């Protein structure tokens, strides 16, 4: 029996991505998988049913869940969806367990083997499965376009018969995957770009993209190449250093994050009030608490004449390419579980062990288990 991969339509409001795109579906079918797609599942990403060759279509998510050995999702399945799944099914998606603990508990109770793509360890062998990177680069690119759109100035320098236009000054805070993509995009649009990160190793990466690196004598690199939380004294130092640069920027794109924690607060109300009227802040950390004190997630507000944008689910806005990359990340992970055309996951494998959320009635991811089950053993 071929392995059956099923893709239901995403039902979370605002989610436009899909977990399979036609080019990836073709790869699955060529490898001998059976692919079942709920009708219209790709429509929000402009992939119409006719674009997928040699796959089966079903009318409802219920039929997908009844037949599939492996269910591919973007957003975590809802409690209602989990209820429709067969006991022992494998479901892979971006699970956001801290946000939806009740769904994790349901997957545990229904004995679903769930894999959270965002928990895939960031080791070199897993680079092709790294959804944090693929989706963050989409977000970094789009953030700059949103900033340029909200800004009432040109980004490039222009020499025209009507005079010379000065280039926009763009400040990127946080130079991880999304920040570096934001720098590259702002530079391509011709802006003067400054960037800052607490990890000293980013200095060269920032400079190689043609941006100026703002130096602070703090290096907060921690395990796995991530940033650690700063001490109170370091936080003051950082805000003092950033204040003038924020005040002079036409557009600030903030992307700073610390894994598993609330986003660091880097731009306070006073700093916003020192900016020029018409200046723009795009706070990519809006969903995880915001880098800016006045950000309202999902809204664009004006504070003291400064436009503060707090977009949510930015990768979904670029659904075609975000889906393409995500679908490839998923296939690469699934391939790890297949031996000679059969589903034989080695759950001890570092990648699967790190990303498994629930299996056999247990929550395997320690922080999630503590969140859901508290002190229970
Ligand atoms: P992230 O989304 O967790 O954070 C974004 C950025 O915010 C990071 O660069 C971080 O240093 C920065 N930041 C945190 N606190 C800050 C503060 N107070 N002020 C300014 N900046 C702050 O990180 P990410 O983009 O997902 O990844 C960060 C790093 O992880 C990468 O650059 C890389 O070194 C590593 N990584 C490794 C792999 C791999 O090996 N496969 C893949 C991707 C990323």
Query: pLDDT digit of tens for each residue in the chain (377 aa)?
Result: 899 999 999 999 999 999 999 999 999 999 999 999 999 999 999 999 999 999 999 999 999 999 999 999 999 999 999 999 999 999 999 999 999 999 999 999 999 999 999 999 999 999 999 999 999 999 999 999 999 999 999 999 999 999 999 999 999 999 999 999 999 999 999 999 999 999 999 999 999 999 999 988 888 888 777 888 898 889 988 888 999 999 999 999 999 988 778 899 999 999 999 999 999 999 999 999 999 999 999 999 999 999 999 999 999 999 999 999 999 999 999 999 999 999 999 999 999 999 999 999 999 999 999 999 986 54
pLDDT in tens, 244-302: 999 999 999 999 988 778 899 999 999 999 999 999 999 999 999 999 999 999 999 99
Q: What is the pLDDT of residue 261?
A: 81
Is-contact 107 101, C-beta < 8 A? no
CA dihedral 100, 312, 124, 74 (to 10 degrees): 60
Clarify whether 130 is annotated catalytic: yes
205: annotated active-site residue: no
* CA gap 3, 338 in Å, rounded: 9
Distance CA 294, CA 302 (A): 9
Query: Does 33 participate in catalysis according to the annotation?
Result: no
The 3-class SS string of 149-211 reads HHCCCCCCCEEECCEEECCCEEEEECCCHHHHHHHHHHHHCCCEEEEECCCCCHHHHHHHCCC
List phi, psi (to 5°) of 254: -110, 130
How far apart are the two ends of the chain, measured CA to CA in Å? 39
Please report the atom of ligand 1 found closest to the CA of residue 235.
18
Our answer to whether residue 127 is catalytic in this structure is: yes
pLDDT at 245: 96
Classify the phi-psi angles of 46: left when phi > 0, otherwise alpha if psi is within -120 to 50, otherwise beta. left
Q: Whose CA is nearest to atom 25 of ligand 1?
A: 176
Nearest Cα to Cα of residue 24 among 343, 333, 318: 333
Bridge partners, 342 (sequence order):
339
Q: Tabulate helix, strand, coil % of the chain (nearest 5).
A: 40, 20, 40
**Ligand 1 first shell, C-beta below 6 A:** 122, 124, 127, 130, 132-133, 136, 173-179, 196-199, 225-227, 230, 238, 255-259, 264, 266
C-alpha span between 203 and 212 (Å, rounded): 9
Distance CA 179, CA 169 (A): 15
| CA 241–ligand 1 middle distance (angstroms) | 20
């Amino acid at each position: 029996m071929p392995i059956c991969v099923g893709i239901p339509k995403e039902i979370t409001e605002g989610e436009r991505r899909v977990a399979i795109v036609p080019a990836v579906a073709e790869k699955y079918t060529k490898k001998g998988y059976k692919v079942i797609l709920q009708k219209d599942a790709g429509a929000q990403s402009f992939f119409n049913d006719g674009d997928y060759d040699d796959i089966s279509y079903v009318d409802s998510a219920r039929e997908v869940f009844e037949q599939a050995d492996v269910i591919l999702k973007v957003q975590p399945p809802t409690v209602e969806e989990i209820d429709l799944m067969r006991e022992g099914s494998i479901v892979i998606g971006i699970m956001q367990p801290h946000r939806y603990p009740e769904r994790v508990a349901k997957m545990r109770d229904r004995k679903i083997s769930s894999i959270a793509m965002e928990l895939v360890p960031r080791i070199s062998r897993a680079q092709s499965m790294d959804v944090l990177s693929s989706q963050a680069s989409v977000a970094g690119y789009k953030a700059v376009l949103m900033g340029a759109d909200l800004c009432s100035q040109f980004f490039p320098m222009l020499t025209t018969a009507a005079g010379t236009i000065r280039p926009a000054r763009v400040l990127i805070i946080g130079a991880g995957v999304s920040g570096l993509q934001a720098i590259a995009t702002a530079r391509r649009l011709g802006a003067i770009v400054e960037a800052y990160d607490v990890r000293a190793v980013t200095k060269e990466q920032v400079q190689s993209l043609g941006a100026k690196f703002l130096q602070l004598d703090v290096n907060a690199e921690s395990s796995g190449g991530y940033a650690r939380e700063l001490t109170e004294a370091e936080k003051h130092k950082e805000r003092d250093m950033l204040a003038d640069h924020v005040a002079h920027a036409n557009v600030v794109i903030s992307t700073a994050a610390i894994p598993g924690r609330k986003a660091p607060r880097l731009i306070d109300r006073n700093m916003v009030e020192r900016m020029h009227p018409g200046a723009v802040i795009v706070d990519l950390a809006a969903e995880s608490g915001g880098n800016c004190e006045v950000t309202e997630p999902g809204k664009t507000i004006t504070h003291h004449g400064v436009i503060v944008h707090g977009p949510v689910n930015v990768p979904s806005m670029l659904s075609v390419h975000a889906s393409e990359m995500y679908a490839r990340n998923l296939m690469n992970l699934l391939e790890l579980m297949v031996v000679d055309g059969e589903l034989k996951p080695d759950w001890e494998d570092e990648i699967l062990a790190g990303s498994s959320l629930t299996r056999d009635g247990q929550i395997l991811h320690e922080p999630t288990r503590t969140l859901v089950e508290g002190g229970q053993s």
